[in-house]
Amino acid sequence: MITSLAGRTSSPLLPAGEVRIGGFGGPEGLTGYLRAQRIDALVDATHPFAATISANAAQAANRAGVPLVVLRRPGWVEQPGDAWHRVRDLAEAAALLPRLGHRVFLTTGRQGIAAFAHVDAWFLARSVEPPEPPMPHRLEVVLNRGPFTLEGERRLLAEHRIDVLVSKDSGGPDAKLVAARERGLPVVMVDRPPAAATAHTAASVAEAVEQLHSVSGTIRDDH
């Protein structure tokens, strides 16, 4: 098994096995890599908002004749007591914020912070590495890597007097959403971009492994 990382962070948590870091040069480069390495199957386990990488993977798999399994954890579902405001993108989220609050917990990742640079509000942003300009004038950054506990999220919202949360609908652990619900905070939820159509999708790693066995009899658990 070969794991490919985008190289967006300087010190990523490395999985077991062979790891490569960096892009392929678009769908053409990935197609060539799949052929050169004689890859039996490709798993797209990227972030739900990594639309370009997912589109490149779909094109390359089709061109190389390699089965593609897309791992996508389910998105979050609004629960009783939630006050969500769904938006299509970060620009729409930034435009909506002034009507909802003035102390914002921004959990969209460091690359999304620039979209809020012009918003007149105080921001708390959390990311693995420091963000780069442009950034909001009033910004405090917490450098941390998940998963995060419910108690920790409760404490963070209370200590910083947060009155609105901004998040991408990435799915997975939802401690921040539970904490926001408990405090009655509005949540600006950015919808996922449309996913590329594929015949093989999985909502968990276990399902992805099952899909791999179904699309290629040459793949064994010890690979």
For the segment 20-39, the average pLDDT, to the nearest whole number, is: 94
Could you tell me if residue 15 is left (phi over 0), alpha (psi between -120 and 50 degrees) or otherwise beta? beta
Choice among 44-53, 123-132, 152-161, 177-186 with the minimum mean pLDDT: 44-53
pLDDT at residue number 218 = 47
For the segment 20-35, the average pLDDT, to the nearest whole number, is: 94
Q: What is the DSSP string of 101-153?
A: -SEEEEES-GGGGGGGTT--SEEEEEESS---SS--SSEEEEE--S---HHHH
CATH number of 83-190: 3.40.50.1000
Find residue 72's DSSP bridge partners: none
Domain residue ranges in the chain:
2-73+194-215, 83-190
Contact present, 103 and 121 (Cβ < 8 Å): yes
> Residue 181: is its pLDDT beyond 70?
yes
